[in-house]
Structure 1
Amino acid sequence: MSKKPQTIAQFFKQFPNDESCLNHLFEIRFGQGFECPSCERPSNWYRIKAERAYSCQWCGHHLHPTVGTPFEKTRTPLQMWFYAIYLFTTTRNGVAAKELERQLGVTYKTAWRMAHLIREHMADVDGEEPLGGVFKTVEVDETYIGGEVSGKGMGYKGNKTAIVGMMERNGDVMTKVIANRSRATLQGAIISHVKSHSEIHTDEFISYDGLEYVGKGYWHKTVNHSLGEYVSKSGVSTNGIEGFWSQLKRSINGTHIHVSGKHLWKYAKEAEYRFNRRGCGETMLSELLSTFGPLPSRCD
Structure 2
Amino acid sequence: MMAINAIQFQKGLSLAAFLKEYGSEEQCETAFIKARWPHGFVCPCGHTTAYEFRRQGRRYWQCGACRHQTSLRSGTVMEHGHLPLTKWFLAIYLITQSKTNIAALALMRQLGISWKAAWLLKHKLMAAMAQREADRPLEGDIRVDDAYLGGERTGGGPGRGSTNKVAFVAAVEMREGVRNECVSIRSPAFRSRP
The 8 Å contact of residues 138 and 173 in structure 2, kept in 1 or not, is answered as: no
Match of 2:191 in 1: none
Match of 2:49 in 1: 43
1:277–1:95 Cα change, 3 Å: farther
The 8 Å contact of residues 61 and 71 in structure 2, kept in 1 or not, is answered as: no
1:45–1:103 Cα change, 3 Å: same
The 8 Å contact of residues 51 and 62 in structure 2, kept in 1 or not, is answered as: yes
Match of 1:177 in 2: none
Question: Secondary structure of the equivalent of 1:92?
Answer: coil
User: Which is richer in helix?
Assistant: 1
Match of 1:276 in 2: 172
Runs of at least 4 residues off by over 6 Å: none
Question: Secondary structure of the equivalent of 1:116?
Answer: helix
- Residue 131 of structure 1 and its aligned partner are, at CA, apart by 6.1
Is residue 19 from structure 1 mapped to residue 37 from structure 2 by the alignment?
A: no
Match of 1:65 in 2: 72
Gaps of 5+ in 2: 1-5, 155-166, 175-179, 185-194
AA paired with 2:58? R
Match of 1:216 in 2: none
Gaps of 5+ in 1: 133-167, 173-239, 258-266, 285-300
Look at both structures and tell me which one has the larger radius of gyration over its CA atoms.
Answer: 1
CA distance in 2, matches of 1:82, 1:51: 18
TM superposition score normalised by structure 1: 0.44
Greater relative CO (CA pairs within 8 A, separation 6+): 1
Question: Secondary structure of the equivalent of 1:171?
Answer: strand
Match of 2:146 in 1: 245
1:128–1:245 Cα change, 3 Å: farther
The 8 Å contact of residues 22 and 52 in structure 1, kept in 2 or not, is answered as: no
Match of 1:84 among 88, 91, 94: 91
CA distance in 1, matches of 2:93, 2:173: 15
Is residue 99 from structure 1 mapped to residue 106 from structure 2 by the alignment?
A: yes
Q: How many residues get paired? A: 160
1:73–1:32 Cα change, 3 Å: same
Deviations for 1:8-33, whole angstroms, at most 9, x for unmatched residues?
11111211222322232222222564
Match of 1:28 in 2: 35
User: Which is richer in strand?
Assistant: 2
TM superposition score normalised by structure 2: 0.64
Superposed, 1:1-300 pairs within 5 Å as: 3-30=10-37, 33-37=40-44, 41-43=47-49, 45-48=51-54, 50-56=56-62, 58=64, 61-130=68-137, 170-171=141-142, 240=144, 244-246=145-147, 249=148, 252-253=149-150, 272=170, 275-276=171-172, 280-281=181-182
Q: Alignment identity in percent?
A: 27
